[in-house]
Chains A and B, each alone.
Chain A
Amino acid sequence: MTAILGISAFYHDSSACIIIDGQIIAAAQEERFTRIKHDSRYPHNAIEFVIKYAKLEVNNIDFVVFYEKPFLKFRRLLKSYLACAPKGFISFNKSMSIWLKGKLFQKHLIFKHLNSLDNSFTNIDKIKFCEHHYSHAASAFYPSPFNKAIILTADGTGEWATTTIAIGEKNKLEIKKEIKFPHSLGLLYSAFTHFTGFKVNSGEYKLMGLAPYGNPIYEGKIINNLVDIKDDGSFRLDQSYFDYIAGNKMISNKFEKLFGHQRRDPNKEQISQFHMDVAASIQKVTEKIMLKICKSLKREFKLPNLCLAGGVALNCVANGKILKEKIFDNIWIQPAAGDAGGAIGAALGFWYDKLNKKRNVITSDAMKGSYLGPEYNQKIIEKDLKKIGAVYEILDEDELLEKTVEHLTNSSAVGWFQGRMEFGPRSLGCRSIIADPRSEDMQKNLNLKVKFRESFRPFAPSILEEDLKEWFELESKSPYMLLVSNVNKDKTISQNDNDKNFFGIDKLNLKRSEIPAVTHVDYSARIQTVNKNTNLKYYKLIKKFKDRTKCPVLVNTSFNVRGEPIVNTPADAFKCFMGTNLDVLVIGNCFLIKNNQNKKLENKYHKKFDLD
């Protein structure tokens, strides 16, 4: 037996995973334990969890693989400062002090932490490193159902690479070409995230959600000034519009001058049509680049399969466009496409490529539905709920599903906490808030009263896999909620001339389909297909909802409030339940109704989390 611990840390979304003989056993993000969103610190808790879950001691681990190479990253930093000095002096001072105090000596840092967890772990040579984008590529290829595939990774930056093309075949993976820092599709998108007043490295999905409200009128401005795109999709950014090389800020004054607006201050300025148009424009440019790259890859390598990873692969609208264009026969996207997934890639890459182990392609789902986190049995759930003072009843599965569906059809918002926590940014039916998608007010209510977030944000549908084609224009399954597609025409409600006069956020007030709560203003939806083999209980719930309503769709959003990590424990779930306007909470077989709870346990804690 060979156990490999994969670690991703020190940038954002720290995580750990454990694989045994090439099989992913457990993976979790540190933020879920520390309750600090995108926690970048050394993932103590995640490591302890994965090791414990695998029933191992630290000393039983054969290799520890870190997801990037710190020396290469340090060299990139030095070279960047060389290129822009005397600009960047303050940033140089700050970052060098962090690097010299320990970040540079990560092998010793990791060893020290692991040794403190188990002092019989004494072999520092067990700790290995692999390149950031190799980790991404490995996380996309090895769990994929393909024997041979093209792997496209794109994110902000790793060591040097920001975009890479790799070919994976059997157990081997080779990066063929790359685009290097500072030219980065991820950073380009992040620059616009910053410009529109959202947080970099977490608000990107908001920008994507905002895009359908606008018109891409600045597309030409972006392409003619900010980015030079070649026919094969490769690109460079005009750095005079950006300021991130020196590490001071994302954009320069020239960027603001180009658009005739200053960066939106979220505390002072509301989102306007201008910001929506900017969002639509950068989304269009991103899609254009991704499509160009994909088309040229298909021409060059003539392979039918594509794997995607890296933060840009979380842009499910762009993913949906790639799928729709039918450039490739099959696409597989790593559900934890961001840096958290790097832990899985580092471990799998080492197992297959470096240890040269045989790879048997798993066509079902090597990621196990991405349900790789902690789980709590009924006994622990009851003990925890009792300790908190929750009032609950215990139901058998049939009663539980029946009662949940009854509340859903009465427009209740339900906290759904079952089985193993999801790995990656999406809730996939184990730590989810669910609701009836047919309700016209549900989107607004969930956003404003449950999630306490901006009203423009869309919600995603979970649909039974077998009913997908009847409701959406999507031909392939989407188990990880990483593909966007339109609601089928026969389920939509056509607009009259008066409706077409709605602009911006007002577009929200129009009912667009039979499932308005999950239909975005452009008739699109970020779909999760639910399969009985990966999440039977959730499948049964939706099936029961369908039997009652003829609608095989539920609203599925992450179980948290804005800015908070997704709940991990029953106590986190109860806190969120009591801190929001959720009506019902279902944890394991425990059924909780808000009105039955002690009012003194209410705690509107969401204000302590900032908006992304």
Chain B
Amino acid sequence: MIKQQKLISSILCFLLQIFIFFIINLIYFIIILPTSLILRLMHLDILNLKFEKINSYWIKKK
């Protein structure tokens, strides 16, 4: 009985892993990748990567 339960739980764990993997990939290809491409097309610098001709890079804490 205990062996059976262990087997079932490891199968469930395995299925959960596959499910999580599937969800993560879905998020990446449906949301992250297209959004990233759109941002790039719009030349949006969401991480402030560019060097700028300003006096300071400090950001006031909100």
Query: What chain A residues lie within 8 Å of B55 (beta carbons)?
Result: 230-232
State A313–B54 Cα separation when bound (angstroms): 27
B39 within 8 A of A: yes
What are 30 A-B pairs with beta-carbon distances under 8 A?
A: A79-B47, A80-B47, A81-B28, A82-B32, A82-B36, A83-B46, A83-B49, A85-B36, A86-B33, A89-B28, A93-B25, A97-B21, A97-B24, A164-B61, A175-B61, A176-B60, A177-B58, A177-B61, A178-B58, A179-B58, A182-B49, A230-B54, A230-B55, A230-B56, A232-B58, A234-B56, A236-B48, A236-B50, A236-B52, A236-B57
Given A79-B46, A232-B56, are A93 and B61 also a contact pair (CB < 8 Å)? no
- Chain A residue numbers with a CB within 8 Å of B37 are 85
Of all chain B residues, which has the CB nearest A165? B58
Question: Which of B25, B32, B33, B39 is most buried by chain A, counting CB atoms within 10 A of its CB?
Answer: B32
Q: In this assembly, does A235 line the interface, its C-beta being within 8 Å of a C-beta of chain B?
A: yes
Chain A residue at smallest Cβ distance from B16: A101
Closest 5 CB pairs of A and B: A85-B36, A234-B57, A177-B58, A228-B51, A175-B61
Q: Is the CB of B24 within 8 A of A84?
A: no
Q: Looking at the complex, which one of B32, B46, B51, B61 makes contact with A236 (CB distance below 8 Å)?
A: B51
Tell me which residues across on chain A come within 8 A of B58, comparing CB atoms. 165, 177-179, 232, 234
- CA gap between A86 and B61 in the complex, in Å: 31
A174 and B60 alpha carbons, distance in the complex (Å): 12
Q: Which of B27, B46, B51 contacts A238 (CB 8 A)?
A: B51
In the bound complex, what is the Cα–Cα distance between A79 and B35 (angstroms)? Answer: 10
Q: Are B28 and A92 within 8 A (Cβ)?
A: yes
Interface status of A492 (Cβ within 8 A of chain B): no
Asked if A82 and B39 sit within 8 Å, CB to CB, the answer is yes
A96–B24 contact, CB under 8 A? yes
In the complex, chain B residues whose CB is within 8 Å of the CB of A535: none
Q: With A81-B32, A82-B36, A83-B36 known to touch, is A245 a contact of B59 (CB < 8 Å)? A: no
Place the interface of chain B in its size category: 20 to 34
Out of A82, A165, A174, name the residue touching B46 (CB < 8 Å).
A82
Q: Are A83 and B47 in contact (CB under 8 A)?
A: yes
Say how far A569's CB is from chain B's closest CB, in angstroms: 36
B20 contacts partner chain A, Cβ-Cβ < 8 Å: yes
Chain B residues within an 8 Å CB radius of A78: 32
Cβ of B43 to closest chain A Cβ, rounded Å: 12
Contact B35 A82 (CB under 8 A): yes
Q: Chain A residues near B61: list those with CB within 8 A.
A: 164, 174-178
Task: Tell me the smallest distance from the CB of B10 to a CB of chain A, in Å.
Answer: 16
Task: Verify B20–A177 contact, CB threshold 8 A.
Answer: no
Expressed in whole angstroms, the Cα–Cα distance for A97 and B18 within the complex equals 11
The reply to whether A245 and B47 form a contact with Cβ atoms under 8 Å apart is yes
Q: Which residues of the other chain, A, contact B60 by a CB distance below 8 angstroms?
A: 176-177
Q: In the complex, A164→B58 CA distance in Å?
A: 9
A180 touches B56 (CB 8 A): no
A115 interface residue per 8 A CB criterion: no
Instruction: Apart from A183-B48, A234-B56, list 12 A-B contacts with CB within 8 A.
Output: A83-B49, A86-B33, A93-B28, A97-B24, A175-B61, A177-B60, A179-B57, A181-B47, A182-B47, A230-B54, A234-B57, A236-B57
Q: Report Cα–Cα, A230/B58, bound state, in Å.
A: 10
Residue A239 lies at the interface, judged by CB distance under 8 Å to chain B: yes
